Chains A and B, each alone.
Chain A
Amino acid sequence: MCLGVPGRIIEMYEAGGLSMGKVDFGGVTREACLAYVPEAQVGDYTIIHVGFALNLISEEEALETLDLLRQIGELSVLPGTEGEAE
Protein backbone atom coordinates (compact mmCIF):
# COMPACT_ATOMS: atom_id res chain seq x y z
CA MET A 1 0.00 0.00 0.00
CA CYS A 2 3.04 2.03 0.25
CA LEU A 3 4.82 2.85 -2.96
CA GLY A 4 6.19 6.19 -1.79
CA VAL A 5 9.18 7.65 -3.55
CA PRO A 6 11.48 10.39 -2.26
CA GLY A 7 11.68 13.54 -4.38
CA ARG A 8 12.85 17.12 -4.09
CA ILE A 9 10.43 20.03 -4.33
CA ILE A 10 11.73 22.35 -7.04
CA GLU A 11 8.72 24.61 -7.52
CA MET A 12 5.62 25.51 -5.53
CA TYR A 13 2.36 27.08 -6.70
CA GLU A 14 -1.37 27.01 -6.24
CA ALA A 15 -3.73 25.28 -8.59
CA GLY A 16 -7.45 24.67 -8.15
CA GLY A 17 -7.21 26.08 -4.64
CA LEU A 18 -4.64 23.48 -3.62
CA SER A 19 -1.00 23.88 -2.75
CA MET A 20 0.88 22.08 -5.53
CA GLY A 21 4.49 21.60 -6.43
CA LYS A 22 6.83 20.25 -9.03
CA VAL A 23 8.91 17.41 -7.61
CA ASP A 24 12.19 16.11 -9.00
CA PHE A 25 12.89 12.40 -8.60
CA GLY A 26 16.33 12.49 -10.17
CA GLY A 27 15.95 13.24 -13.87
CA VAL A 28 12.19 13.06 -13.95
CA THR A 29 9.72 15.54 -12.56
CA ARG A 30 6.05 15.38 -11.77
CA GLU A 31 3.43 17.60 -10.25
CA ALA A 32 2.33 16.64 -6.74
CA CYS A 33 -0.12 17.99 -4.21
CA LEU A 34 1.57 19.58 -1.20
CA ALA A 35 -1.59 20.19 0.82
CA TYR A 36 -0.48 17.77 3.51
CA VAL A 37 2.94 19.37 4.00
CA PRO A 38 2.04 23.03 4.63
CA GLU A 39 5.49 23.67 6.08
CA ALA A 40 7.22 22.58 2.85
CA GLN A 41 9.65 24.85 1.07
CA VAL A 42 11.42 24.65 -2.25
CA GLY A 43 14.43 22.40 -1.79
CA ASP A 44 12.78 20.12 0.78
CA TYR A 45 12.63 16.39 0.21
CA THR A 46 9.36 14.58 0.59
CA ILE A 47 7.80 11.15 0.08
CA ILE A 48 5.34 11.15 -2.82
CA HIS A 49 2.54 8.58 -2.99
CA VAL A 50 -0.06 8.72 -5.78
CA GLY A 51 0.80 12.33 -6.52
CA PHE A 52 0.64 13.53 -2.90
CA ALA A 53 3.40 14.49 -0.52
CA LEU A 54 2.94 12.47 2.68
CA ASN A 55 5.63 13.92 4.89
CA LEU A 56 8.85 15.84 4.59
CA ILE A 57 12.00 13.78 4.95
CA SER A 58 14.15 14.77 7.86
CA GLU A 59 17.74 15.01 6.69
CA GLU A 60 18.89 15.02 10.29
CA GLU A 61 17.18 11.75 11.12
CA ALA A 62 18.39 10.24 7.88
CA LEU A 63 22.03 11.09 8.54
CA GLU A 64 21.80 9.91 12.11
CA THR A 65 20.37 6.58 11.05
CA LEU A 66 22.96 6.02 8.34
CA ASP A 67 25.76 6.92 10.72
CA LEU A 68 24.57 4.47 13.32
CA LEU A 69 24.03 1.77 10.74
CA ARG A 70 27.59 2.12 9.52
CA GLN A 71 28.81 1.42 13.00
CA ILE A 72 26.67 -1.63 13.49
CA GLY A 73 28.62 -4.79 13.84
CA GLU A 74 31.36 -2.90 15.62
CA LEU A 75 29.64 -1.18 18.49
CA SER A 76 26.26 -2.94 18.48
CA VAL A 77 24.61 0.47 18.70
CA LEU A 78 20.94 0.45 17.79
CA PRO A 79 19.38 3.09 15.55
CA GLY A 80 15.72 3.95 16.00
CA THR A 81 13.83 5.55 18.81
CA GLU A 82 11.65 3.82 21.37
CA GLY A 83 7.95 4.65 21.24
CA GLU A 84 6.57 7.14 23.70
CA ALA A 85 3.99 4.66 24.95
CA GLU A 86 5.34 1.62 26.73
Chain B
Amino acid sequence: MDENASIGYQGPVCPIPLTHTEQIVMGHGSGGKLSHDLIQRIFLPSFDNPALRAGDDAALVFPNPSTRLAISTDSHVVWPLFFPGGDIGRLAVCGTVNDVAMLGADPLYLTAGFILEEGLPLEILEQVVASMHAAASEAGVQIVAGDTKVVQKGKADRLYINTTGVGLIRPGVEIGGAHARPGDLVILSGPIGDHGISVLEARGELGFESHIQSDIAPLNHLVSAMLQVSDQVHVLRDPTRGGVATTLNEIAGQSQVGIVLNEGSLPIRPAVAAVCEMLGFDPLYLANEGKLIAIVGRSDAERVLQAMRLTRYGEESQIIGEIKDTPQGRVLMKTTLGSTRIVDVLAGEMLPRIC
Protein backbone atom coordinates (compact mmCIF):
# COMPACT_ATOMS: atom_id res chain seq x y z
CA MET B 1 0.00 0.00 0.00
CA ASP B 2 1.36 3.34 -0.98
CA GLU B 3 1.88 5.28 2.19
CA ASN B 4 2.39 8.48 0.34
CA ALA B 5 -0.96 8.27 -1.38
CA SER B 6 -2.91 11.41 -0.84
CA ILE B 7 -6.06 10.92 1.08
CA GLY B 8 -8.46 10.23 -1.78
CA TYR B 9 -10.69 8.74 0.78
CA GLN B 10 -13.41 6.63 -0.76
CA GLY B 11 -15.00 4.71 2.01
CA PRO B 12 -14.46 2.32 4.91
CA VAL B 13 -11.30 0.28 4.67
CA CYS B 14 -12.33 -2.68 6.66
CA PRO B 15 -9.86 -5.48 6.15
CA ILE B 16 -11.52 -8.74 5.25
CA PRO B 17 -11.56 -11.20 8.14
CA LEU B 18 -9.46 -14.33 7.76
CA THR B 19 -11.14 -17.52 6.62
CA HIS B 20 -9.17 -19.71 9.04
CA THR B 21 -8.43 -22.66 6.86
CA GLU B 22 -5.48 -24.00 8.87
CA GLN B 23 -6.77 -24.35 12.43
CA ILE B 24 -10.02 -24.65 14.24
CA VAL B 25 -11.01 -21.43 15.97
CA MET B 26 -13.98 -20.83 18.24
CA GLY B 27 -15.92 -19.35 15.37
CA HIS B 28 -16.14 -22.80 13.79
CA GLY B 29 -18.52 -23.77 16.57
CA SER B 30 -20.79 -20.78 16.44
CA GLY B 31 -23.20 -22.11 13.83
CA GLY B 32 -22.47 -19.40 11.31
CA LYS B 33 -20.48 -19.18 8.13
CA LEU B 34 -17.30 -20.74 9.54
CA SER B 35 -19.27 -23.73 10.84
CA HIS B 36 -20.96 -24.10 7.49
CA ASP B 37 -17.64 -23.93 5.66
CA LEU B 38 -16.23 -26.62 7.92
CA ILE B 39 -19.10 -28.95 7.07
CA GLN B 40 -18.74 -28.28 3.36
CA ARG B 41 -14.95 -28.62 3.27
CA ILE B 42 -14.25 -31.42 5.71
CA PHE B 43 -17.31 -33.46 6.60
CA LEU B 44 -19.50 -33.66 3.55
CA PRO B 45 -16.81 -34.80 1.12
CA SER B 46 -16.15 -37.83 3.32
CA PHE B 47 -19.58 -38.62 4.66
CA ASP B 48 -21.62 -37.76 1.60
CA ASN B 49 -25.12 -39.23 1.35
CA PRO B 50 -28.56 -37.80 0.55
CA ALA B 51 -29.73 -37.67 4.18
CA LEU B 52 -26.70 -35.66 5.24
CA ARG B 53 -26.80 -33.45 2.17
CA ALA B 54 -30.35 -32.40 2.92
CA GLY B 55 -28.91 -30.26 5.67
CA ASP B 56 -31.83 -30.32 8.05
CA ASP B 57 -31.64 -30.45 11.83
CA ALA B 58 -32.27 -34.21 11.80
CA ALA B 59 -31.66 -36.79 9.13
CA LEU B 60 -34.57 -38.43 7.38
CA VAL B 61 -33.91 -42.07 6.69
CA PHE B 62 -36.01 -44.96 5.33
CA PRO B 63 -34.84 -48.34 6.50
CA ASN B 64 -37.82 -49.70 4.62
CA PRO B 65 -40.54 -47.98 2.56
CA SER B 66 -43.11 -47.87 5.35
CA THR B 67 -40.79 -46.64 8.10
CA ARG B 68 -39.49 -43.11 8.08
CA LEU B 69 -37.14 -42.24 10.91
CA ALA B 70 -35.66 -38.96 12.02
CA ILE B 71 -32.24 -39.23 13.63
CA SER B 72 -30.26 -36.41 15.15
CA THR B 73 -27.17 -36.01 17.28
CA ASP B 74 -25.88 -33.12 19.32
CA SER B 75 -22.96 -32.54 21.60
CA HIS B 76 -23.25 -30.16 24.50
CA VAL B 77 -20.25 -28.30 25.78
CA VAL B 78 -21.94 -25.29 27.30
CA TRP B 79 -20.12 -23.49 30.06
CA PRO B 80 -21.07 -22.80 32.77
CA LEU B 81 -22.94 -26.05 33.40
CA PHE B 82 -25.73 -24.33 35.30
CA PHE B 83 -27.30 -21.00 34.39
CA PRO B 84 -30.59 -19.23 35.09
CA GLY B 85 -33.41 -21.20 33.51
CA GLY B 86 -31.41 -24.32 32.68
CA ASP B 87 -28.34 -26.49 32.66
CA ILE B 88 -26.34 -28.72 30.36
CA GLY B 89 -28.53 -31.72 31.13
CA ARG B 90 -31.80 -30.08 30.18
CA LEU B 91 -30.11 -28.66 27.12
CA ALA B 92 -28.78 -32.07 26.09
CA VAL B 93 -32.22 -33.65 26.18
CA CYS B 94 -34.27 -30.80 24.73
CA GLY B 95 -31.79 -29.93 22.03
CA THR B 96 -31.99 -33.37 20.48
CA VAL B 97 -35.71 -33.86 21.15
CA ASN B 98 -36.27 -30.60 19.28
CA ASP B 99 -34.03 -31.46 16.34
CA VAL B 100 -36.03 -34.65 15.84
CA ALA B 101 -39.33 -32.83 16.26
CA MET B 102 -38.30 -30.29 13.62
CA LEU B 103 -38.67 -32.97 11.00
CA GLY B 104 -42.26 -33.46 12.15
CA ALA B 105 -41.29 -36.65 13.96
CA ASP B 106 -42.36 -37.90 17.38
CA PRO B 107 -39.14 -38.26 19.36
CA LEU B 108 -39.06 -41.67 21.04
CA TYR B 109 -35.58 -42.64 22.18
CA LEU B 110 -32.45 -40.85 23.22
CA THR B 111 -28.94 -42.03 23.91
CA ALA B 112 -26.63 -40.12 26.23
CA GLY B 113 -22.85 -40.22 26.12
CA PHE B 114 -20.92 -38.50 28.88
CA ILE B 115 -17.36 -37.27 28.87
CA LEU B 116 -16.45 -36.48 32.44
CA GLU B 117 -13.42 -34.59 33.65
CA GLU B 118 -11.43 -36.21 36.38
CA GLY B 119 -12.28 -34.49 39.65
CA LEU B 120 -15.89 -33.65 38.75
CA PRO B 121 -17.92 -33.75 41.98
CA LEU B 122 -20.46 -36.55 41.77
CA GLU B 123 -23.06 -34.20 43.16
CA ILE B 124 -22.83 -32.14 39.97
CA LEU B 125 -23.30 -35.22 37.83
CA GLU B 126 -26.34 -36.19 39.90
CA GLN B 127 -27.90 -32.79 39.42
CA VAL B 128 -27.31 -32.91 35.68
CA VAL B 129 -28.75 -36.39 35.38
CA ALA B 130 -31.80 -35.45 37.46
CA SER B 131 -32.37 -32.55 35.14
CA MET B 132 -32.11 -34.82 32.13
CA HIS B 133 -34.65 -37.14 33.68
CA ALA B 134 -37.08 -34.29 34.25
CA ALA B 135 -36.68 -33.03 30.71
CA ALA B 136 -37.05 -36.51 29.23
CA SER B 137 -40.22 -37.09 31.23
CA GLU B 138 -41.65 -33.81 30.11
CA ALA B 139 -40.86 -34.65 26.52
CA GLY B 140 -42.08 -38.22 26.84
CA VAL B 141 -38.85 -39.81 25.62
CA GLN B 142 -36.77 -42.60 27.06
CA ILE B 143 -33.02 -42.56 27.42
CA VAL B 144 -32.25 -46.08 26.32
CA ALA B 145 -28.51 -46.27 25.85
CA GLY B 146 -25.50 -44.42 27.04
CA ASP B 147 -21.79 -44.32 27.58
CA THR B 148 -19.41 -42.76 30.02
CA LYS B 149 -15.78 -41.83 29.54
CA VAL B 150 -13.46 -40.02 31.92
CA VAL B 151 -10.65 -37.78 30.75
CA GLN B 152 -7.79 -36.28 32.66
CA LYS B 153 -8.18 -33.10 34.57
CA GLY B 154 -8.03 -30.14 32.23
CA LYS B 155 -9.22 -32.00 29.14
CA ALA B 156 -12.89 -31.17 29.43
CA ASP B 157 -14.82 -28.32 31.05
CA ARG B 158 -15.98 -30.66 33.82
CA LEU B 159 -18.64 -32.37 31.69
CA TYR B 160 -19.58 -32.82 28.03
CA ILE B 161 -22.70 -34.66 26.89
CA ASN B 162 -23.64 -36.07 23.51
CA THR B 163 -27.21 -37.11 22.83
CA THR B 164 -28.62 -38.87 19.83
CA GLY B 165 -32.33 -39.00 19.24
CA VAL B 166 -34.59 -41.16 17.13
CA GLY B 167 -38.17 -40.45 16.19
CA LEU B 168 -40.86 -41.74 13.88
CA ILE B 169 -42.17 -39.45 11.21
CA ARG B 170 -45.92 -39.68 10.86
CA PRO B 171 -47.36 -40.77 7.53
CA GLY B 172 -48.06 -37.91 5.19
CA VAL B 173 -45.80 -35.46 6.98
CA GLU B 174 -43.34 -33.74 4.63
CA ILE B 175 -41.39 -31.20 6.57
CA GLY B 176 -37.91 -30.00 5.75
CA GLY B 177 -35.81 -26.97 5.00
CA ALA B 178 -36.32 -27.27 1.27
CA HIS B 179 -40.12 -27.07 1.42
CA ALA B 180 -40.75 -23.36 1.92
CA ARG B 181 -42.89 -21.89 -0.87
CA PRO B 182 -43.56 -18.31 -1.95
CA GLY B 183 -46.66 -17.08 -0.18
CA ASP B 184 -46.00 -19.02 3.03
CA LEU B 185 -45.86 -17.15 6.30
CA VAL B 186 -43.10 -17.34 8.91
CA ILE B 187 -44.13 -17.93 12.51
CA LEU B 188 -41.81 -17.60 15.52
CA SER B 189 -42.93 -19.23 18.75
CA GLY B 190 -41.72 -16.59 21.20
CA PRO B 191 -39.19 -13.93 22.23
CA ILE B 192 -35.64 -14.27 20.91
CA GLY B 193 -32.27 -14.25 22.59
CA ASP B 194 -33.12 -15.48 26.08
CA HIS B 195 -30.76 -18.46 26.04
CA GLY B 196 -27.84 -16.67 24.42
CA ILE B 197 -27.95 -13.80 26.87
CA SER B 198 -28.54 -15.90 29.98
CA VAL B 199 -25.46 -18.03 29.26
CA LEU B 200 -23.36 -14.97 28.44
CA GLU B 201 -24.40 -13.45 31.72
CA ALA B 202 -23.67 -16.63 33.64
CA ARG B 203 -20.12 -16.57 32.28
CA GLY B 204 -19.64 -13.31 34.10
CA GLU B 205 -17.02 -11.93 31.73
CA LEU B 206 -18.98 -8.90 30.60
CA GLY B 207 -20.25 -7.90 34.02
CA PHE B 208 -23.93 -7.24 33.38
CA GLU B 209 -26.83 -8.37 35.58
CA SER B 210 -30.37 -9.13 34.52
CA HIS B 211 -33.18 -11.54 35.34
CA ILE B 212 -33.10 -13.16 31.94
CA GLN B 213 -33.61 -16.91 32.01
CA SER B 214 -32.66 -19.43 29.40
CA ASP B 215 -35.65 -20.69 27.46
CA ILE B 216 -34.61 -24.35 27.12
CA ALA B 217 -37.72 -26.41 26.50
CA PRO B 218 -38.86 -29.56 24.70
CA LEU B 219 -40.97 -28.51 21.75
CA ASN B 220 -42.34 -31.82 20.52
CA HIS B 221 -45.76 -31.29 22.09
CA LEU B 222 -45.97 -27.85 20.50
CA VAL B 223 -45.15 -29.42 17.14
CA SER B 224 -47.82 -32.09 17.66
CA ALA B 225 -50.42 -29.45 18.38
CA MET B 226 -49.48 -27.66 15.17
CA LEU B 227 -49.54 -30.78 13.02
CA GLN B 228 -52.93 -31.70 14.40
CA VAL B 229 -54.56 -28.61 12.95
CA SER B 230 -52.71 -28.32 9.67
CA ASP B 231 -50.98 -30.26 6.96
CA GLN B 232 -49.52 -27.06 5.52
CA VAL B 233 -46.60 -26.84 7.90
CA HIS B 234 -43.75 -26.88 5.40
CA VAL B 235 -40.68 -26.12 7.47
CA LEU B 236 -39.84 -26.34 11.14
CA ARG B 237 -36.53 -25.34 12.61
CA ASP B 238 -35.26 -24.28 16.00
CA PRO B 239 -33.02 -21.18 15.81
CA THR B 240 -30.19 -22.31 18.07
CA ARG B 241 -26.59 -21.27 17.44
CA GLY B 242 -26.43 -18.41 15.00
CA GLY B 243 -29.96 -17.37 15.87
CA VAL B 244 -33.03 -16.64 13.79
CA ALA B 245 -30.95 -14.92 11.13
CA THR B 246 -28.69 -17.88 10.44
CA THR B 247 -31.58 -20.36 10.53
CA LEU B 248 -33.67 -18.38 8.08
CA ASN B 249 -30.70 -17.98 5.77
CA GLU B 250 -30.24 -21.75 5.77
CA ILE B 251 -33.89 -22.27 4.88
CA ALA B 252 -33.81 -19.58 2.21
CA GLY B 253 -30.85 -21.39 0.70
CA GLN B 254 -32.34 -24.86 0.93
CA SER B 255 -35.69 -23.79 -0.52
CA GLN B 256 -34.23 -21.22 -2.91
CA VAL B 257 -36.70 -18.58 -1.83
CA GLY B 258 -36.54 -15.10 -0.39
CA ILE B 259 -37.64 -14.39 3.16
CA VAL B 260 -38.84 -10.97 4.26
CA LEU B 261 -39.10 -10.29 7.97
CA ASN B 262 -41.06 -7.56 9.64
CA GLU B 263 -38.86 -5.96 12.29
CA GLY B 264 -41.84 -4.60 14.19
CA SER B 265 -43.24 -8.11 14.68
CA LEU B 266 -40.15 -9.66 16.22
CA PRO B 267 -40.84 -10.60 19.82
CA ILE B 268 -38.01 -9.72 22.19
CA ARG B 269 -37.91 -9.12 25.92
CA PRO B 270 -36.94 -5.54 26.84
CA ALA B 271 -34.07 -6.76 29.03
CA VAL B 272 -32.62 -8.83 26.17
CA ALA B 273 -32.94 -5.81 23.89
CA ALA B 274 -31.17 -3.69 26.49
CA VAL B 275 -28.22 -6.08 26.74
CA CYS B 276 -27.94 -6.09 22.96
CA GLU B 277 -27.85 -2.30 22.90
CA MET B 278 -25.16 -2.26 25.55
CA LEU B 279 -22.88 -4.73 23.83
CA GLY B 280 -23.72 -3.89 20.25
CA PHE B 281 -25.29 -7.28 19.54
CA ASP B 282 -27.97 -7.98 16.99
CA PRO B 283 -30.60 -10.18 18.71
CA LEU B 284 -31.27 -11.99 15.44
CA TYR B 285 -28.00 -13.85 15.96
CA LEU B 286 -28.52 -14.96 19.55
CA ALA B 287 -29.11 -18.60 20.38
CA ASN B 288 -32.56 -19.84 21.38
CA GLU B 289 -33.18 -23.26 22.89
CA GLY B 290 -36.92 -23.30 23.41
CA LYS B 291 -38.22 -21.63 20.27
CA LEU B 292 -39.11 -22.74 16.80
CA ILE B 293 -39.65 -21.19 13.44
CA ALA B 294 -42.49 -22.57 11.38
CA ILE B 295 -43.07 -21.82 7.72
CA VAL B 296 -46.70 -22.46 7.00
CA GLY B 297 -48.99 -22.27 3.98
CA ARG B 298 -50.70 -18.89 4.09
CA SER B 299 -54.24 -20.23 4.32
CA ASP B 300 -53.43 -22.24 7.46
CA ALA B 301 -51.11 -19.76 9.19
CA GLU B 302 -53.67 -18.15 11.44
CA ARG B 303 -55.02 -21.52 12.54
CA VAL B 304 -51.56 -22.80 13.34
CA LEU B 305 -50.73 -19.59 15.20
CA GLN B 306 -53.81 -19.94 17.41
CA ALA B 307 -53.02 -23.58 18.13
CA MET B 308 -49.47 -22.59 19.12
CA ARG B 309 -50.68 -19.87 21.45
CA LEU B 310 -52.67 -22.43 23.43
CA THR B 311 -49.56 -24.42 24.29
CA ARG B 312 -47.12 -23.92 27.11
CA TYR B 313 -44.14 -22.92 24.99
CA GLY B 314 -46.00 -21.17 22.21
CA GLU B 315 -47.99 -18.54 24.07
CA GLU B 316 -46.10 -15.65 22.59
CA SER B 317 -46.02 -16.88 19.02
CA GLN B 318 -46.01 -14.24 16.30
CA ILE B 319 -46.11 -14.12 12.54
CA ILE B 320 -42.83 -12.44 11.74
CA GLY B 321 -42.52 -12.55 7.98
CA GLU B 322 -43.30 -14.16 4.68
CA ILE B 323 -41.76 -16.16 1.89
CA LYS B 324 -41.25 -14.58 -1.54
CA ASP B 325 -39.81 -15.98 -4.71
CA THR B 326 -36.98 -13.46 -4.75
CA PRO B 327 -34.31 -12.65 -3.88
CA GLN B 328 -33.50 -16.36 -3.88
CA GLY B 329 -31.52 -17.56 -0.92
CA ARG B 330 -31.65 -14.18 0.80
CA VAL B 331 -33.25 -12.89 3.96
CA LEU B 332 -34.38 -9.29 4.15
CA MET B 333 -35.95 -7.30 6.90
CA LYS B 334 -38.38 -4.43 6.65
CA THR B 335 -37.33 -2.06 9.41
CA THR B 336 -39.71 -0.16 11.65
CA LEU B 337 -38.87 2.88 9.55
CA GLY B 338 -40.05 1.28 6.34
CA SER B 339 -36.65 0.72 4.78
CA THR B 340 -35.28 -2.73 3.92
CA ARG B 341 -32.01 -4.26 4.97
CA ILE B 342 -30.28 -7.56 4.44
CA VAL B 343 -30.11 -10.08 7.26
CA ASP B 344 -26.93 -12.01 6.64
CA VAL B 345 -25.42 -15.17 8.08
CA LEU B 346 -23.23 -14.86 11.14
CA ALA B 347 -19.59 -15.10 10.09
CA GLY B 348 -17.95 -16.38 13.27
CA GLU B 349 -18.44 -15.56 16.93
CA MET B 350 -20.55 -12.58 17.86
CA LEU B 351 -18.31 -10.06 19.66
CA PRO B 352 -19.13 -7.02 21.76
CA ARG B 353 -18.21 -3.92 19.82
CA ILE B 354 -17.14 -0.39 20.66
CA CYS B 355 -17.77 1.08 17.20
Contacts and interface: CB of A to CB of B under 8 A. Distances in A.
A–B contact at 8 Å CB threshold (below): yes
Interface of A: 1-3, 5, 25-31, 48-51
Nearest to A26: B274
29 contacts: A1-B354, A2-B355, A3-B353, A5-B277, A5-B278, A25-B274, A25-B275, A25-B278, A26-B270, A26-B273, A26-B274, A27-B212, A27-B269, A27-B270, A27-B274, A28-B208, A28-B212, A28-B271, A28-B274, A28-B275, A28-B278, A29-B209, A29-B210, A30-B208, A30-B209, A31-B207, A48-B278, A50-B354, A51-B207
A85 to B, nearest CB: 25
A51 B275 CA distance: 13
B146 interface: no
A1 B211 CA distance: 29
A29 to B, nearest CB: 5
B280 interface: yes
A27 B271 contact: yes
Nearest to B201: A28
B211 A27 contact: yes
Contact of B280 (A3, A31, A48): A3
Contacts of A5: 277-278
Given A2-B355, A5-B277, A5-B278, A29 B270 contact: no
Contacts of A48: 278
A26 B354 contact: no
Given A25-B277, A27-B269, A28-B278, 18 more contacts: A1-B354, A2-B355, A3-B280, A3-B353, A3-B354, A5-B277, A25-B275, A26-B270, A26-B274, A27-B270, A27-B274, A28-B209, A28-B271, A29-B209, A29-B210, A30-B278, A48-B278, A51-B207
Given A1-B355, A3-B354, A26 B209 contact: no
Interface of B: 207-212, 269-271, 273-275, 277-278, 280, 353-355
B355 A3 contact: yes
Question: Most A CB atoms within 10 A — which of B208, B211, B269, B274?
Answer: B274
A48 B210 CA distance: 17
B91 to A, nearest CB: 23
Contact of B354 (A25, A28, A30, A49): A49
Nearest to A22: B209
Contacts of A51: 207
Contacts of A30: 207-209, 278
A1 B271 CA distance: 24
Contacts of A49: 354
A29 B274 CA distance: 9
B219 to A, nearest CB: 26
Nearest to A6: B277
Contact of A29 (B208, B277, B354): B208
A20 to B, nearest CB: 12
Contacts of B269: 27
Nearest to A2: B355
Contacts of B278: 5, 25, 28, 30, 48
